[in-house]
Amino acid sequence: MTQRKAIIVGGSMAGLFAANMLYRAGWDVSVFERSPAPLSGRGTGIVTHAGMLALLRKAGVDTSGDLGVPLTRRLSIGKSGEVRAETRFEQILMGWSKLYALLQAALPRDVYHLNRSVCAVDCGSETQSPLVTCQSGRTDTADVVIAADGVRSAIREMLMPGESAVAAPYVAWRGMARMDALSRAAQQQLGQAFVVVTEPDEEMVTYPVLGDDGAVYINFVWYRLVTTEERVDLFSDSEGNHFPQGISPRAIKPEHALRARAAATELFHAHIAEVVEATPELLLQVIVDQTASRMTQGRVALIGDAAFVARPHVGQGVTKAGGDAWALTTCLSDPCASVVDALQRYNALRLPVGVSAVERARELGAVLIPACDTTPTMSRWRDHYLNATELLSDTAVELPGLAHV
């Protein structure tokens, strides 16, 4: 049997999982990544799950070494430092760059191509191979094309126009502070726990991760409810240019970062305010729900954020990407199924999983929405998660079936 060929568009988490898994299943794989330089995590942490570690092993990554910071405690603290809730939970927190490096190292170098931006895809059919066109004019065919091109997937837009992400009514400030820049008391508390704190219209999550330089950092994600006018202003630079899908840290108006730092001091316990203060550069992120009505067309399959994006409360972006890649690999490995049949099976398996991950994340995010703005169902979730123990227990925990292992 001739070796079958897959082109994977996008060389981040989903693309690397798919490339590694299909390569190990005997496929000839090529990854087309539009970035001209290797990707970098820009100071972000990833919450791991048992399913995600199993997926990494399926992708050929040795998970027996030191992956990140192991934690056993979860904590919620009030403004005066009072413990609102505490639970026991074992979890490893990784840096994004470490994960990317491990997945990259598992893949032969010559299959990963930087600076290859795909601008058109003909999705093919049972009898016709799909065709990929790059911005350079280069064209390639394969047995299957895998769209791993992220939340603003151009391939999804080509195949399913209008199925774009919808912004949540809140945004997130993110960042990482070196742990040794914090007071001893803050280090002791935040360096050993996954911390979730809510205040009206606010949610703050902190946890330690290993940085690219080997030092421990406290990573934070701070969700803030915003009005439409505030959102426009936050995502506009001083010249009035508006970047609704995301603003680079340098374009954020300095007064917004200053106000955020001051608000952290006003709202949260001093240890948490220290983290925000000691973070050199604050990042601002749009929080979205992305759902696709289907995950395949012809011989093209969508995986990872290109298909579904669940708000980060569930901490599942990477696990979902790996689970999609594994489900796709197992479907494509069926010797009795054509590529089109295999993709239909993949769609049937993963579509409900993506829908439920997005829904679960919305339920967790209900804690940020004022009671008057919620539907009765969301109002019940809001009340449920205003209980600090419930919120600690359900934030960033593995969702059944997501890893597909």
Ligand X SMILES: Cc1cc2nc3c(=O)[nH]c(=O)nc-3n(C[C@H](O)[C@H](O)[C@H](O)COP(=O)(O)OP(=O)(O)OC[C@H]3O[C@@H](n4cnc5c(N)ncnc54)[C@H](O)[C@@H]3O)c2cc1C
Instruction: Supply the minimum distance, in Å, between the C-beta of residue 19 and ligand X.
Output: 11
Q: Going along 234-299, which residue ranges are E strands?
A: 283-289, 296-297
Report how many residues bind ligand X under the rule CB under 6 A.
32
Interface with ligand X (CB under 6 A), residue from 197, 318, 331, 388 = 318
Among 38, 42, 57, 262, binds ligand X (CB under 6 A): 42
Sheet of 112-113, strand order: 112-113, 28-32, 5-9, 144-147, 300-302, 296-297
Half-sphere exposure of 198 (CA within 13 A, CB side): 24
Is 12 a binding residue for ligand X by CB under 6 A? The answer is yes
Residue 159 engages ligand X in binding (rule: CB under 6 A): no
Beta-strand ranges (E) seen in 237-358 are: 283-289, 296-297, 300-302
Task: Give yes or no for residue 68 binding ligand X (CB under 6 A).
Answer: no
Burial 45-65 (b: 16+ CB within 10 A, else e): bbbbbebbbbbbebbebeeee
Burial of 3 (0-12, 13-18, 19+ CB in 10 A): exposed
Q: How far is it, in rounded angstroms, from Cα 8 to Cα 5?
A: 10
Smallest gap from residue 306 Cβ to ligand X (A): 6
As measured in angstroms, the least distance from the Cβ of 304 to ligand X is 2
As measured in angstroms, the least distance from the Cβ of 324 to ligand X is: 8
Neighbours of 244 (CB within 10 A): 11
Find the shortest distance in angstroms from Cβ 141 to ligand X.
Answer: 16
Q: Any contact of residue 9 with ligand X (CB under 6 A)?
A: yes
Contact between 124 and ligand X per CB under 6 A: no
Q: Is 44 in the site for ligand X (CB under 6 A)?
A: yes
The percent of the chain in helix, strand and coil, each rounded to the nearest 5, is 40, 25, 35
10 is an interface residue for ligand X by CB under 6 A: yes
Closest CB 181 distance from ligand X, rounded Å: 20
Among 45, 130, 208, 365, binds ligand X (CB under 6 A): 45
**Pick from 319, 394, 402: nearest CA to 361:** 394
The label of the residue with tokens 């011989």 reads 299
Q: Work out which of 7, 20, 30, 33 binds ligand X, going by CB under 6 A.
A: 33
Rg (CA), the chain: 21
Among 51, 68, 130, 150, binds ligand X (CB under 6 A): 150
Which residues lie across from 236 on neighbouring strands?
242
Q: How far is the CB of 35 from ligand X (least distance, A)?
A: 5
The residues with which 384 forms a beta bridge, in sequence order, are: none
d(C-alpha 319, C-alpha 79), whole Å: 33
Specify the residue, 36 or 240, whose C-beta has the smaller distance to ligand X: 36
Binding of ligand X by 179 (CB under 6 A): no
Smallest gap from residue 15 Cβ to ligand X (A):
6
Site string for ligand X, 222-261 (x = CB under 6 A): ----------------------------------------
Residue 169, Cβ density class (10 Å: 0-12 exposed, 13-18 middle, ≥19 buried): middle
Residue among 52, 321, 358, 369 that touches ligand X (CB under 6 A): 321
Q: Minimum distance from CB of 146 to ligand X (Å)?
A: 11
Candidate list 6, 8, 14, 331; residue touching ligand X; CB under 6 A: 14
Which residues sit at the interface with ligand X, rule CB under 6 A? Answer: 9-15, 32-35, 39, 41-42, 44-46, 96, 117-118, 148-151, 154, 304-306, 312, 317-318, 321
